[in-house]
Structure 1
């Protein structure tokens, strides 16, 4: 732990604290020693050290430097001559009953507000579900979440709990309702499980376009799409990308055409993507095909558009789910404590977003840096809205 003094007043984290202060406090005001904003901010800093469990959150919170506690809004204990820290028991009780829907909505809107966009830049959102394998409602039911992430930015701007009696396919509209207002005409990408008529209608109704892949769960739609794009394979690819790495050469070729004869809501164009993988001598190892549909119109719905959007859908798995599983071991330990599981996921999404807004792509290594020097957390909490963003 560093003993270097920190001039906390010169680092403005008011935007973050204001956002946390907007979340409704489920507790009775009488007898509450700590504000909800302070409990959440100390829990966030502890999460930024890589703390995985409630016991670790409590221990790391107790180690936060006094200047940082003061900046987070800690009450001062005149008898002890120091700022007070919430105990693990206090944090546990709050996270059990916190309004996680409000927490996720505020976090998503705040992270989106911190993002800067180039003039005319197109926004694309990946939607995907995750089963929290270590989080249980009871002995037979696991917690399931559905999240939305900005392609290329790795920022989760929406997350909802999937009711125990249904699945993620039914919850896309509820997730879209939670998303912040976005400029332009964003695109939503989803995997083949979400290639449903109602989902397509919901996305377009929200003023967005979709890019969906088509697989065997929709056999008639798959046949119609395949028959439409099959003749394209006799032509040169409309778009081609080759990448080399990890002892392999990967080549993507994409063809696209109007979606005539394909019966699907608001569909405008169809595409087929061929992915070949070779060893370094040029011997082909695998070949795969993907079929995709989009509601996008105009000149931007090109083969390049299909390629980037279909590949980008995997980003939410690699940039969010995988990170939470490896950096915080999210799937390891079962927890039976009210809303705590989703609150943990929310704080981890917020942590990942804050680190990425600071240009940190190596999440686990940054968590280790903060654990070694808690003073480093304050500099990371500075945001663009404060005017102090680097």
Structure 2
């Protein structure tokens, strides 16, 4: 069965809203480090549980650095306290190791979803593909995805409610946005169930073994989460802004061909002097700084120095750099020639070529 979703009391949003106005709507991230003291010594003495605990600590540290609305951090801290209480219940469980493993695994899945929600990349859109990529049994995988998505949705929806309640405190004559958000949360859950049940029963939809109702609910919840996160000020991940970075990407790839002919973009990092585009090639990683189509710096990542063999390779590339440039120019010219020679077929209404 899916885990019980986080559900704070109805009076808490107004309390949180008042606290937000006192501390500022966009205060710094709250500390979320995890230590072995969160449960019992069993978490630290069992190697498997210790590994899960360290994974959880790393994910919480990453989430603490993610930019998000303080209303969300307040709800997340309340959910943390509730989760720690649930973890303490494992001390009296008949199989404490299994209990701790289940709680820690669920928490890791939830934090992984939160990190994707606020730090990127964007949430997946297909629950079936997500479970196929994991290589897990479909039924258990869908249950895990739904439990994490529904818990994160509860936290996110209440954070949205709290943020609107803060607005109502400042403008008491405006409509009660907090209450409307709470009603919207309940309405979404009811609609989600009805929509997916109807799709599962419709003869017009051939879903086959595509997860059924629960996979449909996971996908609708992911979409709703993405919408609420944008309303709470989520900054898009670089992979969602490829069009904005395209001139710099092209410039860095062109520059990088002088060092390595097999390059791909793997990350975009923020720095005091601007964004750093990180590339991976057959000879290692590189950092590139570019504004538009102008590259200001290109070097091995982390200032790594080449060994003698790599220096000889670089020297070889330098000697043959003109040949490489001629190759890329000839390749681009041949593509343009092929495009000009491609016959232009007449198109009929409602018919599109290619």
TM-score range, shorter-chain basis?
under 0.3
Query: Which of structures 1 and 2 has the larger relative contact order (alpha carbons within 8 angstroms, sep 6+)?
Result: 1
Greater strand proportion? 1
What TM-score, normalized by structure 1, do the two folds share? 0.20
What TM-score, normalized by structure 2, do the two folds share? 0.22
Greater helix proportion? 2
